[in-house]
Structure 1
């Protein structure tokens, strides 16, 4: 995987920074990423505001950003698809998605089906929404397809029709597959799903979970040993970790991140992403 540093993510959206038959990835902080494949730009879970700091001001967890905005929503010059894995506001941020919806009227927004009305309330124009349901493939182009799968954010959130509000997405770029888990913990059947695809690269949160956070309505995520185990059992060769460095109460100690950066595993390469870096890998199109 190539690693290229840029002065600003604004340059990432320009055609002259395009590598054909490569997927380029840029981290936005928290669980947010930009994916660019040929002419198509997809953004998942962008949190590009201080919405939560305002919402939780004076509360036990004030949600003050530790990380500067890597790019403002109105600086994103082009985007074809925006995805939300679930309705928590650091993944479906009203101050980000409303601006993107208004300024990119040809952009589609992929959201969990049961959360369509919530997405509209947060500022997405209803005619731009594509509803996502578990195991129903979404075709973007002949070369790009997306498969929603369940996510267990401490628990599954399912409506009376059995439809999931917490999702992960498997992106198929040609014959190369990338898994963004959304916010999740391990659950029975996850490894088998990932093996069947099969998945080449996983993007998974590592901020963990504990009773204190859960008792204060902060649902948790994978522990570091869990994401490594899942990748090894599912034969995933590359892991990009995330969901750290945004809020002080819900991050990963720097010492653990440093250990991850130097962790040497024979069958798994681990990347701790940095803002203003573009990571790219060649896609198999056989």
Structure 2
């Protein structure tokens, strides 16, 4: 019996290692009627969208080598001021001379003065458009809200419309009604890491409700994203869960 148990454990470990080895953070390309949209997974909660020579950075964080070979950003969206989302060190390493920053008020207050003329502040529910791209700020918060790390109307999730696609980036949120009420989302990025946001089962429940066409689990350090995919796939809905390596070794 002990030998059988040992074989089972080793098999599970090898399977998990095999699955992880298959993960990468190579860009995905989505063909649209308005040109190719490229999605670049970078690190943790950082993603870059590239379309028609316009690059949108979301929550840039991490060392400068992660951005080598990437085009300069025209738009930089920041969800909230925690250090893995607003990194003034990372921003200083990027060429942001021609970038517009889309941020909530609390982020604007913690950014260096040199960016002040480039900042557009959005509250939940407000929108901004530039270069054929529309950005809507939506809620992101913890439940219960009172005394939470992320409170309602403090930070922003974003719905980005570009290349005729509706993209959702959750920021740090839990399974909130505003996420479940999203409609016609083509590509979603949903966080899942306890104790800061939600577990994989809460995330899966919300995703199964608003049903994005493509779903990337991100901001998931330490969580079982393979199990998340299994839970979503089990329901048989037409949701393409894509697993990427958001924590590349450097």
TM-score, with structure 2 as normaliser: 0.74
> How far 1:28 moved relative to its partner?
1.2
Deviations 1:199-249 (A, max 9, x none): 12210111132xxxxxxxxxx11211122211221132321001134xxxx
Relative distance call for 1:18 and 1:224 in structure 2 (3 A) is: closer
1:175 matched residue in structure 2: 164
2:112 matched residue in structure 1: 120
Q: Distance in 1 between matches of 2:229 and 2:176?
A: 26
Q: Secondary structure at the match of 1:97?
A: helix
Could you list the structure 1 runs, at least 4 aligned residues long, displaced by more than 6 angstroms after superposition: 17-20
Deviations 1:110-131 (A, max 9, x none): 111243121236xx52111111
2:39 matched residue in structure 1: 25
Q: Distance in 1 between matches of 2:121 and 2:175?
A: 25
Q: Secondary structure at the match of 2:110?
A: helix
1:201–1:239 CA contact under 8 A, matched in 2? yes
TM-score, with structure 1 as normaliser: 0.66
Residue 71 in structure 1 maps to residue 39 in structure 2? no
Relative distance call for 1:25 and 1:112 in structure 2 (3 A) is: same
> How far 1:258 moved relative to its partner?
3.4
Residue 232 in structure 1 maps to residue 208 in structure 2? yes
Equivalent of 2:100, from 102, 108, 115?
A: 108
Equivalent of 2:127, from 120, 124, 137?
A: 137
Higher relative contact order, chain-length normalized (CA < 8 Å, sep 6+)? 1
1:206 matched residue in structure 2: 192
Q: Secondary structure at the match of 1:71?
A: helix
Relative distance call for 1:118 and 1:156 in structure 2 (3 A) is: farther
Deviations 1:24-62 (A, max 9, x none): 11111110001011121011011114xxxxxxxxxxxxx
1:260–1:272 CA contact under 8 A, matched in 2? no
1:48-87 matches, within 5 Å, as 48-49=62-63, 71-72=66-67, 76-87=70-81
Q: Distance in 2 between matches of 1:106 and 1:99?
A: 14
Tell me the matched-pair count: 218
Q: Distance in 1 between matches of 2:179 and 2:230?
A: 27
